[in-house]
Structure 1
Amino acid sequence: MAGLGGTRGTFAPPRLGCMTRPTADFAHTAPSPKKVPTLMDSYDRCPCGSGKKIKFCCSDLLADFKTLEKMRTGDQLRAALQHVESIESADKPRAALLVNKIALLRDLERHDEAREATRWFIERFPDNPIAMSEAALEAAAEGDTRRSLDLIFSAMAQSPEVFHWQTYQAMSAVAEILAVSGDPRAARALWQLEIDLETGDNRPLSLLTQSCFSAAEPLMLKDEPYFDEGTADGPWKSRLDEAMTSLGRMVWPEAVAKLEKLVGDAPDLAAAWLNLAILRGWLADREGSAAAFERVASLDIPLEDAVEAKANAMLLADDPLGDKMDGLRMTFRVDNADELAGHFTTARQFEPIQVAPGMFDGEEVPPKAVFLVLDRPALGPGEGPTLDTMPHVVGQALLFGRQTDREARLVVSGVFSNERELIENLIVSAGNGQVTGPAEVETVASNSATVALLSPRWRAPISRNMKTLHDAIRRHIEQAVMEQWPRLELKSLGGQSVEQAARDPNQKIAVLAAVLVLENLVWRVGQSLDFNRLREKLGLPTLGPIDPKASPIDRLPLVRFHRLAVKELDDESLVRACNRAMGFGASEAARRLAAEVVERPGIAAEVKERTLVTMTHLASDAEQVMEFIEAGRSLAESVGKSSAAWDLCELRFRLTSGDAQQAKGVFDHLVSEHLREPGIADAIRQLMIDLGLVDEQGRWLGRREGAPNELDEPYSESLDQPFAEPSAEPSSGLWTPDGERASGETPKLWTPDMG
């Protein structure tokens, strides 16, 4: 992370080599990393959380600690809990015993009792770091991440010399909850903090890497700004340094408090506002972070910095561009369901679809028929798809017959609010009098109008050419960006359309930020477009190439990387920049940098291979996938290595894209040229098993239900380690950057060298 990486300079956090030993604090909630437990002695840290040795703290309980540890080692958890309860006193509670009791209750899955014991613990020992950590874990389980974070950092501040294992457990729990609840920026900050603690736990690095690589989030939110150290001779420099020293001690809330006081005294200090925006984001305060970024954008700073600050503020909002529209479910009353089904079957804008028998198991009565509703007639045989003729799916219609207690009805879901009138007209027109009365309308979801513009919901012909379709997608996105989006009215621009706001000098930063948000969304769907054309059309300043000699790449925001003059980078800087772009899934920048990496004669073949295999995951279409595969194949052959790994990569790609003829050609080549190479036969067999084409015994199954038959994300799958030495063992499977194997097992993830 750029912002976190910035802490490794002036404000680098210390390494904590004095974490409480898990074997000493045996009440920790995670398994001990030691394979052979050792009995506690009087010089171990006391489990009570004081940070002292047992000899100087709860020495009278040492014998009980040893007894409890033996019981836990022997998996005698109930007996251990009974022992704790036999020696605890309600009148004189002991923190060390409460620590053990809570851990034992959790191990026994008596969670309500553990929650009550935690409440009692924090009430009686409000300054105890373990009590705070246990309370943070409960707050995280209840979804109160802000309170959980406050407690975690309070625990760290209370115990600066000893980092307790329970604090780490709470930190891990809240990070994962933040990641799945829509605040991955805060989650990544915690994962980086866990990595900095050097506990030997590899999970945070794996999660951080997957989060950075995933396309589920705009690039700007993954690569946040670096901390600003301010000018060396600035009047507020000492106060800024003092605030950031708290960050170095890993006490983020204290740093936030000092920065908030500083901006109160120096309201135009951009460095303080920027650092405050970053830290508030780390503490899951999205609104506070957005407000601070807004303030940064309003100050006297370079235009591009202001635009990026404004774009950050937009992306932190629930409705970044102010273009949210409702997703509707519409229910129509039907006179005769069978007659309506007949009318729909003959209408070219209603396409009957077959659904899996178990799809409606949760329904009391399954629908009689299911139709896709199209905005224009379906293409007939031989009709070539174009942007003007390709039909869009505007809803899915479920037709239910009359039931004992309900009239026949038609339920149409997946309808955007701006297409409600279209749906009503289509239903009434095709229904030929079988649909009566107005529809009942429910709002069931929401979506961005901009995202909807970029996401064609085409109903393409079955016999389509994939290259033709991808070309059509490119043209569709270009048309959406250049022609439709400028006319879109955005609340973020005061309700004006983009082209109207662009004519207002006071709206320049906001419009440029909206364009940058749009550019991030286009990157997110794997497409590239020259956005300077849009800026020119709107009369806005364009962005030129960046000289790496004038702008050090280590602190350059990733949203600017695609503008780097790559020829001016030395080999080391080029590889470092390429790794960073690939690691964050910055596909537009990565493609340009990777092409230069492969061309440079001084860069090692192994580095080029790793670059090419990662780029197969970032490619936006079939043509790009094959370009990288062919480059990899040529590179392997040029250094005297087998190209079988790349052939396997192409085989999987061809199969998942439904290109049977090409897949057969690759398969025949593998069999005739590479089958005798170690591990190749097993790799082919495992690939067929993974795709559901053969069973474990090698018997042909055909395509399993739900197996890939379209080129949805062919570029997101390739071999785990295509360049590892061949093995006689079967392949360990295939991975996607943020997915799971069919078995549910967490996939192996190749981690690009982050430099």
Structure 2
Amino acid sequence: MSIDIYQQCPCHEEKKIKFCCGKAVIEDLNDALAKHHSGQSQAALEQLERAMDTMGPKDCLTTFKTFVQISTQDVDGAEATNEAFLKRCPDHPTGLQHRALIEIMRGEVDQATLTLQDAMDAITGTELPVSLARAFESLGMALVAKQNILAARAHLSFALFLKEEDPRLTQLLHELFNPSGAVMFLKANHQLEPPVEGSEWEKSFTNVHRAVGRGQFRRALGMLLQLNEQYPNQPQITQGIAVVTSMFAPLSAQIAAWRNVASMETTKPKDAIEFHGLAEAIAAMSGSEGYVPVNRSSWEVENFEAISEACISSDSMIPMNPGPDHDPFDEGPAPRAGFLILDKPKLASADNLSLDNIPFSLGEVLLYGKQTDRSTRVEMVCVENARFNEAIGQLKKITGISTDPTTVAFDKVNQGSDAITWNWNLPDDTSREQHKELLGEMKKVALGRWLDLKHEFIDGKSIREVAGDASLEPWVQAKLLHLQQTANGEAFTPEAIDELRTELGIPKLELLAPSEDEFLTPMQICRIDAEKLSDDQLLGYFQIATMTQNFTGLKQLTPELLKREHIEGARRDICHVNMARFSESHEEALDHFAKSRAEAAKLGAPLGILLVAEFEYRLRNGLEDKLDSLLQTIESRHMNEQGVEQELARLFQSLGIHPGALPSSDGEPVEAAATESEPGGSETSSGLWIPD
């Protein structure tokens, strides 16, 4: 690979090499580039240093040297080279871009975000250097790691814009816009609205669009804030502030911006719910609101063997299986034993089973043997909720420990998730009917706990306390939708959430029938009125719902799409798979799977992914008669089809089983790996029952 003298100079000073500082050292640049690309980065650096000794610290040599040092993770060297360059050229966009990359390598992501904006503002010409894609991509990945998902999308999207084509980056963006398991609020792609034609601020708003298009997010926000002062209460401007803030600002600023838009009188109710929901989703990612500590309580003990025996013999202790194979605190050897501590003794049988006599787990207990620098000790890990003191007391009672522990917070958990999650220990002979009845009762208890949680946004009050405040209704509705989305998929159904609305005295959400020029977000698609959609709308929203894994939306859209047989381009085979998942009986579901295969045959479409879906349904629901033959068919004929191998691996991993461990002929549903946790109940959207 050699350098074309008509390409941009490595110093990125808006000039071609032939007319810039690189002309005199083109051979050195070529040699260094070839060595770096062949893995001889040290030789490339030596080549550049010799050229700098001869020709002086030309900008192109210095910036390329910094680039190589960054590529080899030589942070200190890169910083020294780059800062010397910036001392000579303080506002050079390449130097600022490299400074941002160095800050990312040092973990200074917030500062790197601002520095990269400095670099964008320093570019004076119309042409944007392609090398900026590296900085935007690196910063985007760093923002993903910090859970700043909206800003990560903006940076990675701009990197892709600069590169024009990059399949890996395209796939990454697809995953960021459609993260598996994320609430639908986070899957919306909110963008700047077009300016209002004829308005006094039309030209200025157009300039905001241009700034965003050049990656100048901070500049665009400054322009919007000025416009907001001149023309207050304009929905496009206020929403624009939230959109652009989310492109680069800290999560706390994003939360405030979206709540501001949601609270505007001019915001439509359905959009106010959407914006409040997005703010709540961002708050959940940030960990800044609504979190409670996970505590580590420690006792140093002398009678270790007696305590260990007490734990083993207690009916209120359940040994972890398998036991801990490492120290969860990364402080030394693994514990000798681990237990789940129950609030009451485990039951021998399911006779007269009720919520009052079921034992619930309070936390984890770990027993540590003597170490070189530490005595034998007992550790308990549990959430600092209303039962924390009960957990301490129960452990003292079981072990005979009389002293108080040393307690520190070492993690945190979302209080909403904690309220709707429970760990119980059911007897082995618990029937499916008993489990279902108890699950329904426990969901009501969990919802009651959830309604009584205190929230910072409403001045430390609970949802139950503010339910009658009309101004807070959009926020309450957003919280209810968030609950429905986060409570283990479909564990709290739309019908259950509607019952909650009735209890709170707030209206149920109406179905939405968008006009042709209106666009619904993924969350709004969950309550779409499919019958009122045009053919194009129906097909479009179905594709969006499929892409975003919006099962609630698909439940509305799929039956209507199947009714309209005249619509071309509809994947009716996929529609029938969806209908099978939504079916109320096994007979109905299996009929839809048969229809999906027939439709695929008409289209000449691959069958593998459809067979995996049927296999999953049969496996989860104990329909074991055809499992072996179905799996053999998939493995022998369809593993090379797109997505089949990955879906099969995902299924087995999610159930914690090996392909050979399929159910026997007793017809019982396959069990997942042993678990005590029931986040809103342990039923999945496919109807799997996991006995404890």
- Which TM-score bucket, shorter chain as reference? 0.7 to 0.9
Q: 3-state DSSP class of the match of 2:571?
A: helix
2:7 to 25, 44, 56: 44
1:183 equivalent in structure 2? 148
Q: 3-state DSSP class of the match of 2:526?
A: helix
TM-aligned CA distance change 1:263 to 1:176, over 3 Å = same
| Aligned residue identity for 1:176 | M
Equivalent residue runs for 1:717-728 within 5 Å = none
CA shift for structure 1 position 133: 1.9
CA shift for structure 1 position 628: 6.7
CA shift for structure 1 position 176: 0.9
Q: Give a deviation string over 1:375-414, Cα, whole Å, max 9, x none.
A: 3432324458665554332211113456686554321113
1:119 to 83, 86, 101: 83
| Aligned residue identity for 2:385 | S
| Aligned residue identity for 2:67 | A
TM-aligned CA distance change 1:627 to 1:272, over 3 Å = farther
| Alpha-carbon contact 2:526-2:553 (below 8 Å) kept | yes
CA shift for structure 1 position 604: 5.5
1:459 to 425, 432, 439: 425
Equivalent residue runs for 1:431-446 within 5 Å = 431=399, 434-446=400-412
1:55 to 18, 26, 30: 18
2:93 to 129, 136, 141: 129
TM-aligned CA distance change 1:609 to 1:213, over 3 Å = farther
2:304 equivalent in structure 1? 337
CA shift for structure 1 position 94: 1.2
Query: What TM-score, normalized to structure 2?
Result: 0.82
| Aligned residue identity for 1:453 | A
CA shift for structure 1 position 465: 6.7
CA shift for structure 1 position 259: 0.5
1:273 to 214, 238, 246: 238
CA distance in 1, matches of 2:185, 2:228: 25
1:310 to 269, 273, 276: 276
CA shift for structure 1 position 180: 1.5
Find out whether 1:145 has 2:109 as its counterpart.
yes
1:566 equivalent in structure 2? 530
CA shift for structure 1 position 203: 1.9
CA shift for structure 1 position 498: 1.7
| Aligned residue identity for 2:20 | C
CA shift for structure 1 position 601: 2.0
CA shift for structure 1 position 186: 0.9
CA distance in 2, matches of 1:449, 1:75: 50
| Aligned residue identity for 1:178 | L
| Alpha-carbon contact 1:132-1:154 (below 8 Å) kept | yes
1:208 equivalent in structure 2? 173
CA distance in 1, matches of 2:39, 2:635: 50
Which stretch of structure 1 is more off in the superposition, 593-602 or 112-121? 593-602
CA shift for structure 1 position 518: 3.1
CA shift for structure 1 position 152: 3.1
2:322 equivalent in structure 1? 355
| Alpha-carbon contact 1:320-1:492 (below 8 Å) kept | no
Which stretch of structure 1 is more off in the superposition, 144-153 or 447-456? 144-153
1:492 equivalent in structure 2? 457
Percent of aligned pairs with the same amino acid:
20
TM-aligned CA distance change 1:606 to 1:304, over 3 Å = closer
1:99 equivalent in structure 2? 63
CA distance in 1, matches of 2:586, 2:70: 49
TM-aligned CA distance change 1:714 to 1:583, over 3 Å = farther
| Alpha-carbon contact 1:219-1:524 (below 8 Å) kept | no
Find out whether 1:502 has 2:467 as its counterpart.
yes
Q: Give a deviation string over 1:119-139, Cα, whole Å, max 9, x none.
A: 223332233332222122112
Unaligned runs of 5+ in 2: 664-670, 687-692
CA distance in 2, matches of 1:402, 1:186: 48
CA distance in 2, matches of 1:268, 1:651: 54
CA distance in 2, matches of 1:218, 1:87: 55
| Alpha-carbon contact 1:176-1:187 (below 8 Å) kept | yes
CA distance in 1, matches of 2:634, 2:181: 37
Q: 3-state DSSP class of the match of 2:192?
A: coil
| Alpha-carbon contact 1:528-1:588 (below 8 Å) kept | no
2:294 to 327, 339, 342: 327
CA shift for structure 1 position 364: 4.6
2:548 equivalent in structure 1? 584
Q: 3-state DSSP class of the match of 1:417?
A: coil
CA distance in 2, matches of 1:602, 1:590: 19
Q: Give a deviation string over 1:289-317, Cα, whole Å, max 9, x none.
A: 22222332333223333343334334433
Query: Superposition RMSD on alpha carbons, in Å?
Result: 4.2
2:598 equivalent in structure 1? 637
CA distance in 2, matches of 1:625, 1:664: 13
1:86 equivalent in structure 2? 50
Q: 3-state DSSP class of the match of 2:403?
A: strand
CA distance in 2, matches of 1:76, 1:409: 53
CA shift for structure 1 position 653: 6.3
Q: 3-state DSSP class of the match of 2:15?
A: coil
CA distance in 2, matches of 1:192, 1:594: 31
Q: 3-state DSSP class of the match of 2:359?
A: coil
CA distance in 2, matches of 1:407, 1:630: 64
| Alpha-carbon contact 2:130-2:162 (below 8 Å) kept | no
TM-aligned CA distance change 1:652 to 1:330, over 3 Å = same
CA shift for structure 1 position 257: 0.8
CA shift for structure 1 position 281: 0.8
| Aligned residue identity for 1:52 | K
| Alpha-carbon contact 1:224-1:278 (below 8 Å) kept | no
TM-aligned CA distance change 1:152 to 1:594, over 3 Å = farther
1:409 to 357, 364, 377: 377
| Alpha-carbon contact 1:217-1:524 (below 8 Å) kept | no
CA distance in 2, matches of 1:67, 1:118: 21
TM-aligned CA distance change 1:627 to 1:114, over 3 Å = farther
CA distance in 2, matches of 1:435, 1:663: 50
CA distance in 1, matches of 2:49, 2:538: 63
Q: 3-state DSSP class of the match of 2:158?
A: helix
Number of aligned positions between the proteins? 659
| Alpha-carbon contact 1:367-1:398 (below 8 Å) kept | yes
| Alpha-carbon contact 1:637-1:643 (below 8 Å) kept | no
| Aligned residue identity for 1:667 | D
CA shift for structure 1 position 583: 2.3
CA shift for structure 1 position 288: 2.5
Q: 3-state DSSP class of the match of 2:296?
A: strand
Query: What TM-score, normalized to structure 1?
Result: 0.76
1:380 equivalent in structure 2? 348
2:416 equivalent in structure 1? 450
Q: Give a deviation string over 1:498-535, Cα, whole Å, max 9, x none.
A: 22222345544544444344344347576432334323
Q: 3-state DSSP class of the match of 2:174?
A: helix
Which stretch of structure 1 is more off in the superposition, 89-98 or 276-285? 89-98
| Alpha-carbon contact 2:78-2:102 (below 8 Å) kept | no
| Alpha-carbon contact 2:562-2:572 (below 8 Å) kept | yes
CA distance in 1, matches of 2:511, 2:470: 25
1:32 equivalent in structure 2? none
| Alpha-carbon contact 1:311-1:517 (below 8 Å) kept | yes
1:220 equivalent in structure 2? 185
TM-aligned CA distance change 1:386 to 1:136, over 3 Å = farther
Find out whether 1:264 has 2:229 as its counterpart.
yes
| Aligned residue identity for 1:258 | M
Unaligned runs of 5+ in 1: 1-36, 693-697, 718-755
CA shift for structure 1 position 557: 2.4
| Alpha-carbon contact 1:523-1:587 (below 8 Å) kept | no
2:131 equivalent in structure 1? 166
CA distance in 1, matches of 2:445, 2:89: 63
CA shift for structure 1 position 686: 12
1:6 equivalent in structure 2? none
Q: 3-state DSSP class of the match of 2:232?
A: coil
